Structure 1
Amino acid sequence: MKILKWLMYSLFIAIVLGGITVASMYWYFEDELPSVAELRDVRLQTPMQVYSSDGELIAQFGEIRRIPVALEDVPQPLIDAFLATEDQRFYQHWGIDPIGVMRAFVDLVVTGEIQGGGSTITQQLARNFYLTFEQTWTRKIKEAFIALRLESELEKDEILELYLNKITFGHRAHGVGAAAQVYYGKELQDLTLAQMAMIAGLPKAPSTMNPISNPARAEERRAVVLGRMLAEDKITEADYQAALAEPIRTRLHGAEVTMSAPYLAEMVRAEMVARYGEETAYNSGLKVYVTASAQQQRAAQKAVQNNLHNYDERHGFRGVEAQLWQAESDSMPAREELLEQLENFERIGLTLPAVVLATTEQDAQLLFADGTEATLPWAGMAWARPYINPERQGNAPSTVADIFTVGAVVRVRETDKGWRLAQVPEPSAAVVALRPNDGGIAAAVGGYSFKVSQYNRAVQAERQVGSNIKPFIYSAALDNGFTLATLVNDAPINQWNPGSGIAWRPRNSPDVYDGPIRVRQALAKSKNVVSVRLLRAMGIETVVQHLTKFGFDYDELPRNESLSLGSSSMTPLEVARGYAVFANGGYLVEPYFIERIVDDSDTEIYRARPKVACIECEPEDRDVVQAPQVISEQNAFLVTQAMNSAVWGGGSWAHKTGWNGTAWRIQRSDIIIDKAGRNIVGKTGTTNDVKDTWFSGYVSGLVATGWVGFDNLERALGSTTMNSNLDSSEQAISGTEAGAKTALPMWIEFMEGAISQVAAEPFEVPPGLVMARIDLATGKLSRANDYTTRFEYFLPGTAPKEYVDDKSSPTVFGDDDSIF
């Protein structure tokens, strides 16, 4: 009895001392433990995601890859795998498992060191959120206290959900959702049992047991997990054996991007880092919705890439990328060796590398890096005459042997008509589109491939704009006494410069002169000398001041007559913004690309409040931030009318007076005036020596600018001749490259894919304008009602007062340059 009493006293004292010790340790560490509020406001480090306006994922940024999932969306076999392997008594213990603690204590006694193991899922969660992974008594004690607090404040399912979303799986994947995507490119519900077991085994050693870094160790760990599931009766013997036999097939997968828009995504990334700093931008789970829709962005990407391939094809084939063996002297390497060598050639843009296995006179058999094969037909390579220089191409090929031989590494792209020989285009291009009513960027593509060059030409490349400047010059003219019916002399100019001893001779392109020509027709036909004469009539400073109304930098505009021909340099975005003024009735909007931002709880923390072009808004309307009106609605409409003639031309072809504007190719497209009443306008642009080509234009609700040129400012786009292998439907373009030939087709393809999301509305005639029937030859009033006349729009008081049958000669500006 004495011994029993002694044991009872000893036990009581041990319990009291143990309680005092635990309480003392709790008091000592209390300030370092997370508060109840922190436990309930647990935040996962989640990457920033960028979405199109209609919800398609464009990009994901952040060091940590995480796709948060709700517990009910996690497949039960995956939950079973984790519980069987990490904590089979999870739903029974209260944060600390006595059995696990005893096992860890035995390990300590045997080895003399703190070993891993013994930690419950709750303890692992505590360590992942609040502690380090160092093996010390202090960390273990804190871990236990935090685990107890977690269990007292959170439900078991809440703890398990946090655990499954928090733990690390290697290769920057955090949480089961990210692990499924990184290793298998799948959603959780699409994983096989073997794949679930693989993921459940990763937390033990994610960097050294993952199936990419160490497939052998990963397979061993998977077997352990499957064995635990079998022992816990979570799977059958048949399930176990089938999963064990499943091969280890995995590779790194990127984020589930459903729409590629890398140039736009990079704009968002840079802006978000500037606003919030890297830590918040990359790791706080922000979701950014841009102004661009998936459809319009895809249309822009497709237009840029297809147009550059079309340019490259008409200028000739620059040769194969490599020759892996010579058919005459070498034997073909083994298939495995060929596949290994093909891995050295990246997919770029639309182009896929392939090796030529065999050829006939009219086709070739190709092998791709993924082991698949395809036939390249003659129709897909008949274009490939040799490239000589930007101005010359060699003879059209007759057989496949004229293009490449067996063993060559070539690039191909897939088209609607099958595989087509390709090459990574040498020139660059950009398309940027705006909503003219508020400046929202509807699409932005800054080059052929972000992989090749991250330079965003849509917003960064300052290039000479050429004739894209002319609508702004004509806008100034309409504000300074000219009308669409005014005659200006379209005749060569010779201006002697005493200082340099040479004459400046601006010329039309093509070098054709029509004599007296109406302002409407001169803009539609892009007459260079008329633009110069208009500039002279107004004075350079007047024109420069007018151009600044469209957002162009006053200090960057040339102070000489070359301004009228587009010698100033601007980005495509700046040009598009200027054209938006015409499209929206005279308002200068501010381009923007972030529509809204939501945080990790889907609470909206930012919404753009752009300045809106609002003709009918009342000044006291506080719901609308009105953009400044920089030109009159009437001026914008008149310039729009002139650019509409660039599409449709004028005169009468039946009476041999018909003429085309520079944008006549739009007439053959799917975006012409349709049954819904859609109108379209635009202006070409080509610089000296064809180093920059442009097209800018708009429909109601969408304005876009396209640019094509080389990044090397010294390189010209050159010219081409007809390819005898191709019929007229395959080669609509030849001769010297120009805005109408090089940039306009890209703009057309973009609009064809984009305008279905834009309401088809006609350009309404603004109040205050008057209409009068004029004679086409003289610009005077006419009493006739035939092909020699048309109705024209005029600002009040500017319509002609004389009729064509009067005896007086029409006034022609520029008959004598001394007038200016």
Structure 2
Amino acid sequence: MSHLLRTSRLFAWLFLTGLSVAVIVGSGFYLYLRPGLPPVEQLLDIKLQTPLRVYSKDNRLIAEFGEKRRAPITIEQIPTIQLQAFLAAEDSRFYEHFGVDIKGLVRAAIELISTGSIQSGGSTITMQVAKNYFLSRDRTFIRKFNEILLAVQIERELEKDEILELYLNKIYLGNRAYGIAAAARVYYNKPVNELSLAQMAMLAGLPKAPSAYNPLANPQRAMQRRDWILGRMKELAYISPTAYDLAIQAPLTATYNATETEVDADYVAEMARAEMVRRFGEEAYTDGYSVTLTVDSKEQQTATDALRSGLEAYDRRHGFRGAIGKLDADTLAGGDLARAMLNYPRVESLMPAAITEINDDKGEARAYVRRFGPAIIPFETMQWARRYRTENLTGPKPEKASDVVSVGDVVYVRVDELPKVPDTPDDAEQTVDQDPASVQPIRASLMQVPKAEGALISIEAKTGAIQALAGGYSFGQSKYNRAIQAKRQPGSTFKPFLYLSALESGKTPATIYNDAPIVFDDSELETAWRPQNSSGQFYGPTPLREALYRSRNLVSIRLLRDLGIPQMLDYLDQLKVPTENMPKDLSLSLGSGQLSPMELARGLAVIANGGYDVEPFLIQSITDVDGKDIYLAPEVILCERNCGTNDLEPETSTDDTLESTLTMTEESAPKTRVMRRLADERSVYILHSMLRDVVKRGTGRRALALGRDDIAGKTGTTNEQRDTWFAGFNHNLATTVWVGFDQPAPLGRREFGASTALPIWIDYMKVALDGAPSAFMPRPNGIVNIRINPETGRRARPGEEGAFEIFKEEDAPAPLTEEDERPGRTHGNGDDLSRQIF
């Protein structure tokens, strides 16, 4: 007994000694590591990295920016069965332990001793929260001790449900999905509360190894992991045997579902992204901001489609430039066309395709289309493809498919009937593994990527809110936003500013100017300047109304000469039309200066709204990750005079002021933005009437297709057709379209603003104004209607043929004298006209 007693005492002492050493070592580690541990309170203040999302004003997703896809969710929004699936997979004793599961640690220690390497960490969900939020992922003992200590702290200060919520919002679940809500969207395109039991178990299997158990990358292993979790849920009595049996038989239904944007508006999205980064720095990508823009999804999509369609139509008129590449016979015969086609990028809806066969008897070519596989290109879709020679010359009309393409040619096509293509992650290409001969071909049309570019900007005239903006054919092909970055000559779309200045200076629509040749000698020019009308003809004495709607260049030059170039530049400054790129000679009257499409659209909006200042803006509101408004665009107030009342904020139309308001909270941001009058309302009203005649009787007659009587506007075409424009409006909406080449070059001698830009404008405005009532500028006081002799601009005598014209009261033609009313008396043009002949 004494030997047994001594042995027992020895083991007792050894146990106490080991325990003491463990306590001392543990205390030492605690005292050493404790000062470096972060406070648990930080968990409640941590902002989960949530992407920047951009929405249209009708709440359609335009874009998402940020590396991590995440949509934070509360634990109340997660079904109980989904919570139990994660507990079964990761930590079934979560609601029982104090943050550390001793059984799990012992099991991990045994695995380490028996295998010599770390097999599992024995981590609880709380320990994973500590690691994910605060610690590195290094597999070291120091990190593990930190994890344990921090887990214990977390358990002492947070409720279990709070810990579980943090965990489910933070975990990485593969394919850039962080958190359960994002994963449900990525793999199943559903909210969490709509997942089936089998799908819930599949998601619960991902935290252990997101790549190894990914249902897209490793479907077999993912299914095994899912089935094991379902078994654990049955053992833990989370689900019934019947539910288990049904779920275990469920097929794999996971597919890759990228965040689908609902509006094709890349240029607008980039403008919003750049603005947010400028305001908030790199945190814009991670702090969960949601930006609502002023654009309407339907109008924006229409603008994008109209611009692309218009550029494609122009491109087809000038012929087919040929194949973009050539595949050799070995590549065609080898069958690896899918890999070969990866060398050619898709451009929006246009896909590269390799011609594999031509059958003129059937009137078709066969091709292999990147991503879609075999296709038939009917000859009827090639009939436009005359061979391009110059911008003014094309080859003969093709008679058969072989006149257009050859076997091995790589061309662009548009797939007419889109088949269902399986989803693949991270923009990977879907390729066709079957023998192309065994795959049912799709139908496609021959296309080519336009070389000409364009821009469309539509602005709500009374507020400056941008309704739609398209900065080019393809953002993927070129990030250059022509709507705001391109500086181009406006041509005759500049003339409304010139004529408005003339109306403010006492000229009237009836003022007569001589449309006759004029020559200017300039020592800086090699030859004399002989401007002419686009028709090359001259038409003699012409009223200003007719000169504007017929776009008579010689009248505009004489008009500017009378007004004076300095006065015109000062007036442009008054209208806030930039003048730094304006010439200081008479070519200014023909739009030889430079403006961006946005600058021209903004100036047009000033005219459209009746003469008030306009400050275009794109961002309507910004909310933070909690849904709180941190910025609301101020209400725009059009101010006639004496606007400095206590009810209105000071004018906030400068860029500096706008910058300061965007970073303010909703409570401190200005509630109003006062826009003051820049032009006389009567002059603007008269100009509206003159510009409506451009549509009714002049160069903008195509716009009559809209069937509206409130449309006004002006076409524009510069020398050699390098820039073509249409700027049109009613009282509520101003829209400008530009078409040209990025590197200025002639578009072709038969191309004008009416043939290139105006059709795009019509396609957009047809939708933008659909169902909207006519919007005319209200007639201001001080306007009179007078019957005049159109040939003289003076009042018509009784019985004389005449037409009614509108005038400002003080500029109306003088009343007829008794002598004027005598029979046989005729008006002469007098000095006013003779002065304009030279």
Q: What is the TM-score normalised by the length of structure 2?
A: 0.84
CA distance in 2 between counterparts of 1:454 and 1:18 reads: 63
State the SS of the aligned residue for 1:570: coil
What is the 5 A alignment of 1:23-62?
A: 29-35=33-39, 37-62=41-66
Q: Is contact 2:711-2:728 (8 Å) kept?
A: yes
Q: How far does residue 264 in structure 1 lie from its aligned partner after superposition?
A: 0.9
Cα pair distance change 1:126/1:501, threshold 3 Å: closer
State the SS of the aligned residue for 1:707: strand
Q: Which amino acid aligns with 1:756?
A: D
Q: How far does residue 33 in structure 1 lie from its aligned partner after superposition?
A: 3.8
- Residue 723 of structure 1 is matched in structure 2 by none
- After superposition, give the CA deviation of every residue in 1:171-213 in whole Å (9 maximum; x if it has no partner): 433223333444566655676777655544433344566466x
- Residue 429 of structure 2 is matched in structure 1 by none
State the SS of the aligned residue for 1:352: strand
State the SS of the aligned residue for 2:786: strand
Cα pair distance change 1:371/1:268, threshold 3 Å: closer
- Residue 588 of structure 1 is matched in structure 2 by 613
CA distance in 1 between counterparts of 2:12 and 2:640 reads: 92
Q: Is contact 1:378-1:400 (8 Å) kept?
A: yes
Q: How far does residue 744 in structure 1 lie from its aligned partner after superposition?
A: 0.8
Instruction: Name which of 134, 142, 159 aligns with 2:163.
Output: 159
What is the 5 A alignment of 1:399-798?
A: 399-405=400-406, 408-413=409-414, 420-497=445-522, 500=525, 502-609=527-634, 612-615=637-640, 618-620=643-645, 621-622=647-648, 624-649=672-697, 661-669=698-706, 672-673=708-709, 679-713=710-744, 715-719=745-749, 736-756=750-770, 760-782=774-796, 788-798=801-811
Cα pair distance change 1:614/1:19, threshold 3 Å: farther
Q: How far does residue 18 in structure 1 lie from its aligned partner after superposition?
A: 7.0
CA distance in 1 between counterparts of 2:603 and 2:776 reads: 20
CA distance in 2 between counterparts of 1:231 and 1:238 reads: 13
Q: Is contact 2:515-2:552 (8 Å) kept?
A: yes
Moved more, 181-190 or 433-442: 181-190
Cα pair distance change 1:396/1:431, threshold 3 Å: same
Moved more, 551-560 or 63-72: 63-72
Q: Is contact 1:194-1:222 (8 Å) kept?
A: no
Q: Which amino acid aligns with 1:645?
A: D
What is the 5 A alignment of 1:196-235?
A: 199-206=203-210, 210=214, 215-216=217-218, 219-220=220-221, 222-233=223-234
What is the 5 A alignment of 1:233-312?
A: 233=234, 242=249, 246=252, 254-278=258-282, 280-312=283-315
- Residue 169 of structure 1 is matched in structure 2 by 173
CA distance in 2 between counterparts of 1:219 and 1:712 reads: 55
Cα pair distance change 1:76/1:737, threshold 3 Å: farther
Task: In structure 1, list runs of 5 or more residues that go unmatched.
Answer: 650-660, 674-678, 720-735
Cα pair distance change 1:408/1:157, threshold 3 Å: farther
Q: Is contact 2:514-2:836 (8 Å) kept?
A: no
State the SS of the aligned residue for 1:173: coil
Q: Is contact 1:464-1:569 (8 Å) kept?
A: yes
Q: Is contact 2:641-2:676 (8 Å) kept?
A: no
CA distance in 2 between counterparts of 1:362 and 1:399 reads: 7
Q: How far does residue 356 in structure 1 lie from its aligned partner after superposition?
A: 4.5
Q: Is contact 1:414-1:420 (8 Å) kept?
A: yes
CA distance in 2 between counterparts of 1:38 and 1:136 reads: 24
Sequence identity (%): 40
- After superposition, give the CA deviation of every residue in 1:616-663 in whole Å (9 maximum; x if it has no partner): 8854131532113211112221221111110012xxxxxxxxxxx110
CA distance in 2 between counterparts of 1:52 and 1:504 reads: 49
Q: How far does residue 115 in structure 1 lie from its aligned partner after superposition?
A: 5.2
CA distance in 2 between counterparts of 1:669 and 1:616 reads: 36
CA distance in 2 between counterparts of 1:46 and 1:688 reads: 51
State the SS of the aligned residue for 1:591: coil
CA distance in 1 between counterparts of 2:252 and 2:523 reads: 86
Q: Is contact 1:227-1:240 (8 Å) kept?
A: no
Number of aligned residues: 773
Q: Is contact 2:639-2:677 (8 Å) kept?
A: no
Q: How far does residue 34 in structure 1 lie from its aligned partner after superposition?
A: 4.0
- After superposition, give the CA deviation of every residue in 1:674-710 in whole Å (9 maximum; x if it has no partner): xxxxx11111111101111111111222111110000
Cα pair distance change 1:693/1:499, threshold 3 Å: closer
Q: Which amino acid aligns with 1:383?
A: W
Moved more, 350-359 or 446-455: 350-359
- Residue 651 of structure 2 is matched in structure 1 by none
Q: Is contact 1:305-1:349 (8 Å) kept?
A: no
CA distance in 2 between counterparts of 1:508 and 1:644 reads: 21
- Residue 431 of structure 2 is matched in structure 1 by none
CA distance in 2 between counterparts of 1:174 and 1:812 reads: 81
CA distance in 2 between counterparts of 1:81 and 1:64 reads: 24
State the SS of the aligned residue for 2:676: coil
Instruction: Name which of 303, 317, 325 aligns with 1:314.
Output: 317
Q: How far does residue 344 in structure 1 lie from its aligned partner after superposition?
A: 3.6
Q: How far does residue 108 in structure 1 lie from its aligned partner after superposition?
A: 4.0
Q: Which amino acid aligns with 1:381?
A: M
CA distance in 1 between counterparts of 2:331 and 2:96 reads: 68
Cα pair distance change 1:506/1:323, threshold 3 Å: same
Cα pair distance change 1:265/1:547, threshold 3 Å: same
CA distance in 2 between counterparts of 1:53 and 1:485 reads: 44
- After superposition, give the CA deviation of every residue in 1:232-270 in whole Å (9 maximum; x if it has no partner): 425867557645x749x755x542211121111111111
CA distance in 2 between counterparts of 1:785 and 1:366 reads: 74
State the SS of the aligned residue for 1:703: strand
- After superposition, give the CA deviation of every residue in 1:347-394 in whole Å (9 maximum; x if it has no partner): 212313334455444344555434465554444332222211111111
State the SS of the aligned residue for 1:66: coil
Q: Is contact 1:376-1:420 (8 Å) kept?
A: yes
State the SS of the aligned residue for 1:503: coil
- After superposition, give the CA deviation of every residue in 1:128-187 in whole Å (9 maximum; x if it has no partner): 011111233332233223323333444433322321221123443322333344456665
Q: Is contact 1:339-1:371 (8 Å) kept?
A: no
Moved more, 125-134 or 141-150: 141-150
Instruction: Tell me, yes or no, if structure 1 residue 386 matches structure 2 residue 387.
Output: yes
Q: Which amino acid aligns with 1:513?
A: F
CA distance in 1 between counterparts of 2:168 and 2:65 reads: 21
Q: Which amino acid aligns with 1:737?
A: E
Moved more, 622-631 or 53-62: 622-631
CA distance in 2 between counterparts of 1:40 and 1:521 reads: 71
Cα pair distance change 1:9/1:501, threshold 3 Å: closer
CA distance in 1 between counterparts of 2:194 and 2:381 reads: 38
- After superposition, give the CA deviation of every residue in 1:744-770 in whole Å (9 maximum; x if it has no partner): 111111111222385642221122222
Q: How far does residue 464 in structure 1 lie from its aligned partner after superposition?
A: 0.9
CA distance in 2 between counterparts of 1:414 and 1:229 reads: 44
Moved more, 457-466 or 63-72: 63-72
- After superposition, give the CA deviation of every residue in 1:692-747 in whole Å (9 maximum; x if it has no partner): 1111111222111110000112x21014xxxxxxxxxxxxxxxx101111111111
- Residue 352 of structure 1 is matched in structure 2 by 351
CA distance in 1 between counterparts of 2:188 and 2:587 reads: 59
Q: Which amino acid aligns with 1:549?
A: Q
CA distance in 1 between counterparts of 2:729 and 2:30 reads: 70
Q: Is contact 1:198-1:219 (8 Å) kept?
A: no
CA distance in 1 between counterparts of 2:77 and 2:381 reads: 47
Q: What is the TM-score normalised by the length of structure 1?
A: 0.86
What is the 5 A alignment of 1:366-385?
A: 366-371=367-372, 375-385=376-386
Cα pair distance change 1:380/1:792, threshold 3 Å: same
Cα pair distance change 1:789/1:166, threshold 3 Å: farther
